[in-house]
Amino acid sequence: MKTKVALTGNEAVAQAMKQINPDVVAAYPITPQTEIVQIFSSFVANGEVDTEFVAVESEHSAMSAAIGAAAGGARAMTATSSQGLALMFEVVYIAASMRLPIVFPVVNRALSGPINIHCDHSDAMGLRDSGVIQIFSENAQEAYDNMIQAVRIAEHPDVRLPVMVNMDGFITSHAMDVLEVLDDETVKNFVGTYVPDDYLLDAQNPISMGNFDMYDFYFEHKRQQVEAMKAAKEIIKEVGREFAKISGREYGLIEAYKLDDADVAVVVLNSAAGTAKGVADELRTKGIKAGVLKPRVYRPFPQEEIREALKAVKAVAVMDRAETFSTCGGPMFADIRNTLYDLKNDIKVVNYIYGLGGRDLRLEHVQQVFEDLENIRKTGRVDETVKYLGLRE
C-alpha cells in the first residue's frame, strides 16, 4: 500500500529509518541533519522501533560506535552533515575497509570556513575517495527511496560496504515535499533481516577484524574494495529493479533526462537536477535540444552509463556544487571529462561551479549555461572552461 504524504526531506529519511528499524543508531546532532536524529530518537522513545540509540559525544564517536555495532553483527546507522562528516573522516575509511554495511544519510552542507550552514556538496566530495558508496537524491521522495534501497545494497554479500545517502541541506531537508511512502510491512519485507557472515559476537566462529595490515597485504585488501565497488554497480541496478516492483519507481545508476536526441546537456547532482530539468523543458519548446544527466550514484562512478548517455551530445556543462581548488574545476568535472575522453568525439566539456554556501541556483543561471552551450556548439569554440554561476564578478 502506498500513501501520499507531505514531509520534509529530514522527516522522510527519519520515516525510512523507522521502517528499516535498524538494530543500532549512533548519532550526534548537526544542522541541517539534526531533525533526522531528533525525530528518530522520538521513535525510539515511543517504542516504535527496536533500535538501540546511542547518543554519542561527537561524529567521530558516532561512526566509531556504528562500526563497533556493525562489526558485532548489528544493522547499524548514523547520520550527519558538513563538519560532522569532516570529523568522521578517518573512521569512514575504516568502516569501508572493514567492509561494514553501515547506511548513513548525509544532509549536504558547506564546510567551514567561513562558517556557513547552507547547502553545497563539499562535505560529500571530501569523502568521495573513502571507499563508501555515494548515492544522491533530488528530492524527499528520492531520499526516502534511496535510504530503503541503501540497506539492501550495503548488505549484499558481493558488496558489504557503507552507503552514504545524500540530499541537499535545507533545499531538500527542510522543504515540505509531497511523496509516496510505502507501508511498514512492505519495507520490512524489502529490507529483510540482516544476516552478517562475519561478526565478532559469533562465539562459534571466533574471528579478528580490523587487523594490522603491512605493505605485504594492505595493497591486496584495497584491491578487494575496488572489486566490491565494481560489484556494487550491478547490485544497485538489481535492487533498483526490485524496488520498482514495490513502489513503481525504478532507479539505476544515472537518470538520463531527454538525452536521446540532445545537442547540449547539463550534468548535475541532487536538487539542482530538478531546476535543470525544468529549464530543459522550457528550452525544448523554443527548439533547443537540451537534456540533463543526473548521476544518482557518484561512487562507484557510473562511467559506462554516462559515456553511453552523452556520446551523441555536442557540448556538455558539468555543474559542481563544490570546489577542488585545483584551479582546474570541480570534482565531477574531472570525472566527466575523463569519461568522455576515450570517445574521441570532440565533445566540448565545460564546468560551472555553483551554489557554494547555499547560494541559490536560479532558473536564469541554468538558462545561461544552456545558452553558453549552444554558442559552443555553434562556434566550436570554448572561451572559458571553468566558470562561476551566480557569483558577483
Partner 1 sequence: MTQYGPLNRNLGSGTRTKAVRSDMKWHELTRAGNIYEPGNANSYETGDWRSIRPVWNKERCINCLFCWRYCPDASVIAKDGKFEAFDYKHCKGCGICAKVCPVNAIDMVSEDEIEKVKEANKDEN
* Interface contacts to partner 1, rule CB under 8 A: 97-99, 157-158, 160, 197-198, 205-211, 213, 216-217, 219-221, 223-224, 227-228, 231
CA distance 387 to 202: 55
* Nearest distance from C-beta of residue 89 to partner 1, angstroms: 19
Q: Which of 322, 357, 356 is nearest to 118 (CA)?
A: 357
Which residues, at least 6 apart from 208, have a Cβ–Cβ distance to it below 8 Å? none
d(CA 79, CA 112): 19
CB of 76 to partner 1, least distance (A): 16
C-alpha to C-alpha distance for 265 and 261, rounded to whole angstroms: 10
Which CB atom, from 225 or from 368, has the smaller least distance to partner 1?
225
Could you tell me the smallest distance in angstroms from the CB atom of residue 241 to partner 1?
18
230/241 with CB nearer partner 1: 230
Other Cβ atoms less than 10 A from the Cβ of 141: the count is 20
Give the HSE-up count for residue 361: Cα atoms under 13 Å, Cβ half-sphere: 32
Kindly state the helix (H) or strand (E) to which residue 238 belongs, with its residue range.
helix 218-247
**For residues 184 and 198, which CB has a smaller minimum distance to partner 1 in the complex?**
198
Give residue 290's Cα distance to chain centre. 24
Q: How far is CA 178 from the centre of its chain?
A: 21
Nearer to partner 1, 217 or 341 (CB): 217
Least separation in angstroms between residue 205's CB and partner 1 is: 7
Rg for the chain, CA atoms, rounded:
21
Nearer to partner 1, 197 or 393 (CB): 197
Cβ closest to partner 1, residue 183 vs residue 213: 213
Nearer to partner 1, 73 or 357 (CB): 73
Q: Around 376, how many Cα atoms within 13 Å sit in the side-chain half-sphere? A: 24
Residue pair 7/19 in contact (Cβ under 8 Å)? The answer is no
Spatial contact of 81 and 30, defined as CB atoms under 8 Å apart: yes
Q: Among residues 228 and 340, whose Cβ is nearest to partner 1?
A: 228
Q: Give the nearer residue to partner 1 in terms of CB position, either 221 or 241.
A: 221
Least distance from C-beta 126 to partner 1, angstroms?
Answer: 23
| Shortest separation between residue 156's beta carbon and partner 1, angstroms | 9
When the beta carbons of 198 and 242 are compared against partner 1, the nearer one is 198
Decide: residue 154, CB within 10 A, 0-12 exposed, 13-18 middle, 19+ buried.
buried
Q: What's the closest the beta carbon of residue 190 comes to partner 1, in angstroms? A: 21
From first CA to last CA, the distance across the chain in angstroms is 52
* Long-range pairs for 379-387: beta carbons < 8 A, 24 or more residues apart: 380/348, 382/348, 382/350, 384/350, 385/329, 385/350, 385/351, 386/328, 386/329, 386/330, 386/333, 386/350, 386/351, 386/352, 386/353, 387/350, 387/351, 387/352, 387/353
**In whole angstroms, how close is the CB of 229 to partner 1 at the nearest point?**
11
Query: Could you tell me the smallest distance in angstroms from the CB atom of residue 210 to partner 1?
Result: 8
- The helix/strand/coil state of 291 is strand
Q: Compute the least distance from the CB of residue 147 to partner 1, in Å.
A: 24
